[in-house]
Amino acid sequence: MKLMKSNITMKDIANKLGVSSVTVSKALNDKEGVSDSLKVTIKKVAGEMGYRFNSAAKSIKDGLSYNIGVMIPQRFTGMNDSFYLRVYQEIAIHLDHYGYFGILNILSSEDEEQLNFPRVYSENKVDGIIILGQISKKYIETVQNMDLPKLFLDFYDEHAAIDSIVTDNFYGAYELTNYLIQSGHRDIAYVGNIYSTSSIQDRFLGYYKSLLEHGLAFEDRLLLNDRDERGYYIDIELPEKMPTAFVCNCDQVAYNLCEFLNASGYKVPEDCSVVGFDNDLYATLTSPPLTTVEVDIEQMARTAVKSIMDKVSNPNRRNGRVLVQGKIIYRDSVRTLEADQVKINNKHK
Amino acid sequence: MKLMKSNITMKDIANKLGVSSVTVSKALNDKEGVSDSLKVTIKKVAGEMGYRFNSAAKSIKDGLSYNIGVMIPQRFTGMNDSFYLRVYQEIAIHLDHYGYFGILNILSSEDEEQLNFPRVYSENKVDGIIILGQISKKYIETVQNMDLPKLFLDFYDEHAAIDSIVTDNFYGAYELTNYLIQSGHRDIAYVGNIYSTSSIQDRFLGYYKSLLEHGLAFEDRLLLNDRDERGYYIDIELPEKMPTAFVCNCDQVAYNLCEFLNASGYKVPEDCSVVGFDNDLYATLTSPPLTTVEVDIEQMARTAVKSIMDKVSNPNRRNGRVLVQGKIIYRDSVRTLEADQVKINNKHK
DNA sequence: CTGAAAGCGCTTACAG
DNA sequence: CTGAAAGCGCTTACAG
Hey, is the C-beta of B104 within 8 angstroms of any chain A C-beta?
yes
**Same domain as B130, residue B17:** no
Residues 130-149 of B with CB under 7 A from strand D: none
Q: What is the pLDDT of residue A33?
A: 81
**Same domain as A206, residue A285:** yes
Residue A85 has its nearest CB partner, among B85, B101, B127, at B85
CB B208 within 8 A of CB B218: yes
Residue A2 lies in a domain: no
Cβ-based neighbours of B265, under 8 Å, separated by 6 or more: none
Mean pLDDT: which of A17-31, A265-279, A331-345 is highest?
A265-279
**Same domain as A315, residue A262:** no
Q: At what angle do helices A36-48 and A21-28 cross, to 10 degrees?
A: 90
Domain that holds residue B184: 169-291+330-347
CA distance B257 to B253: 6
Q: What is the pLDDT of residue A4?
A: 36
**Same domain as B335, residue B200:** yes
Beta strands in A161-234 (DSSP E): 164-167, 188-191, 223-224
Q: Phi and psi dihedrals of B132, rounded to 5? A: -105, 100
**Same domain as B334, residue B209:** yes
Q: Does A339 score more than 80 pLDDT?
A: no
CA distance B285 to B89: 24
Residues 44-73 of A with CB under 7 A from strand D: 57, 60-61, 63
pLDDT over 70 for what percent of chain A? 94
How many angstroms is C1' of C3 away from CA of B17? 14
How many angstroms is C1' of C9 away from CA of B50? 28
**Same domain as B337, residue B201:** yes
Kindly state the average pLDDT of the residues A166-171: 93
Residues 12-41 of A with CB under 7 A from strand D: 18-20, 22-23, 26, 32-36, 38
Give Cα separations from B163 to B112, B125, B152, B231 (angstroms). Answer: 20, 21, 6, 25
For nucleotide D12, the protein residue with its alpha carbon nearest to C1' is B61
Q: What is the pLDDT of residues A50-59, one digit of tens each?
A: 999 999 999 9
**Closest nucleotide to A56: CA versus each C1':** C9
The strand pair at B101-107 and B67-73 is best described as parallel
Q: What is the dihedral of CA A292, A225, A82, B229, to 10 degrees?
A: -50
Residue A247 lies in a domain: yes
Q: What is the pLDDT of residue A57?
A: 93
CA distance B205 to B215: 15
Give Cα separations from A184 to A176, A187, A189, A273, A335 (angstroms). Answer: 13, 9, 14, 11, 9
Got the DSSP string for B235-280? PPPPPSSPPSEEEESSHHHHHHHHHHHHHTT--TTTT-EEE-SB--
Residue B3 lies in a domain: no
Q: Does A80 score more than 70 pLDDT?
A: no
The strand pair at B292-294 and B327-329 is best described as antiparallel
Asked whether residue A180's C-beta has any atom of DNA/RNA strand D within 7 A, the reply is no
**Residue A92, number of CB atoms within 10 A of its CB:** 25
Asked whether residue B22's C-beta has any atom of DNA/RNA strand C within 7 A, the reply is yes
Residues of chain A found within 8 Å of residue B88, distances taken between Cβ atoms: 85, 104
CB A283 within 8 A of CB A254: yes
The pLDDT tens digits along chain B (349 residues) read 333 345 899 999 998 889 989 999 999 998 888 888 889 899 999 999 999 999 999 999 889 999 999 999 998 887 656 788 889 999 999 999 999 999 999 999 999 999 999 999 999 999 999 999 999 999 999 999 999 999 999 988 888 789 999 999 999 999 999 999 999 999 999 999 999 988 899 999 999 999 999 999 999 999 999 999 888 999 999 999 999 999 999 999 999 999 999 999 999 999 999 999 999 889 998 989 999 999 899 999 999 999 999 999 988 889 999 999 999 999 999 999 976 555 444 434 3
CB B72 within 8 A of CB B107: yes
The Cα of A100 is separated from the nearest Cα of chain B by a number of Å equal to: 10
For chain C, which bases have at least one atom within 7 A of a protein Cβ?
Answer: 1-5, 7-14
Residue B213 lies in a domain: yes
> What Rg do the C-alpha atoms of chain B give, in angstroms?
27
Q: Does A259 score more than 50 pLDDT?
A: yes
Query: Quick one: pLDDT band at residue A343, thresholds 50, 70, 90?
Result: very low
Residue B248 lies in a domain: yes
Residues of chain A found within 8 Å of residue B50, distances taken between Cβ atoms: 147
Interface test with A, best of B11, B61, B70, B89 (most A CBs within 10 A): B89
**Helix, strand, or coil (residue A174):** helix
Q: How many domains does chain B have?
A: 3
**Listed residue (B295, B66, B1) closest to A119, CA to CA:** B66
Residue A4 lies in a domain: no
The Cα of A6 is separated from the nearest Cα of chain B by a number of Å equal to: 9
**Same domain as B275, residue B209:** yes
- CATH number assigned to the domain comprising residue A87: 3.40.50.2300
Distance in Å from the first CA to the final CA of chain B: 80
Residue B63 has its nearest CB partner, among A7, A101, A105, at A7
Q: What is the pLDDT of residue A79?
A: 66
**Same domain as A233, residue A156:** no
**Residue B328, number of CB atoms within 10 A of its CB:** 16
**Closest nucleotide to A63: CA versus each C1':** D8
The Cα of B216 is separated from the nearest Cα of chain A by a number of Å equal to: 37
Q: What is the pLDDT of residues A186-202, one digit of tens each?
A: 999 999 999 998 889 99
Q: What is the pLDDT of residue B80?
A: 57
Query: Quick one: pLDDT band at residue A348, thresholds 50, 70, 90?
Result: very low
**Closest nucleotide to A17: CA versus each C1':** D2
Q: Which residue of B has its CA nearest to A120?
A: B101
CA distance B177 to B197: 20
The Cα of A189 is separated from the nearest Cα of chain B by a number of Å equal to: 26
**Same domain as A343, residue A217:** yes
Interchain CB distance below 8 Å, A57 and B60: yes
Hey, is the C-beta of B147 within 8 angstroms of any chain A C-beta?
yes
Q: Does A342 score more than 80 pLDDT?
A: no
Interchain CB distance below 8 Å, B85 and A86: yes
**Same domain as A202, residue A334:** yes
Please report the residues numbered 173 through 192 in chain B whose beta carbons come closer than 8 angstroms to any beta carbon of chain A: none
- CATH number assigned to the domain comprising residue A26: 1.10.260
Q: Which residue of A has its CA nearest to B51?
A: A122
CA distance A109 to A76: 10
Residue B4 lies in a domain: no
Hey, which residues does B14 pair with through a beta bridge?
none
**Same domain as B334, residue B316:** no
Interchain CB distance below 8 Å, A3 and B104: no
Residue B62 lies in a domain: no
Average pLDDT of chain A, as a whole number: 90
Hey, is the C-beta of B88 within 8 angstroms of any chain A C-beta?
yes
Q: Which residue of A has its CA nearest to B127?
A: A3
Q: Which residue of A has its CA nearest to B105?
A: A92
The strand pair at A150-153 and A128-132 is best described as parallel
Give per-residue burial for B232-253: e unless 16+ CB within 10 Å, then b: eeeebebeeebbbbbbbbbbbb
**Same domain as A334, residue A320:** no
Hey, which residues does A223 pair with through a beta bridge?
A190
CA distance A319 to A309: 12
Residue B89 has its nearest CB partner, among A101, A106, A280, at A106
Interchain CB distance below 8 Å, A315 and B92: no
Q: What is the pLDDT of residue B229?
A: 87
Q: Which residue of A has its CA nearest to B285?
A: A285
Beta strands in A133-238 (DSSP E): 150-153, 164-167, 188-191, 223-224
The DSSP 8-state label assigned to residue B227 in this structure reads B
Hey, is the C-beta of A18 within 8 angstroms of any chain B C-beta?
no
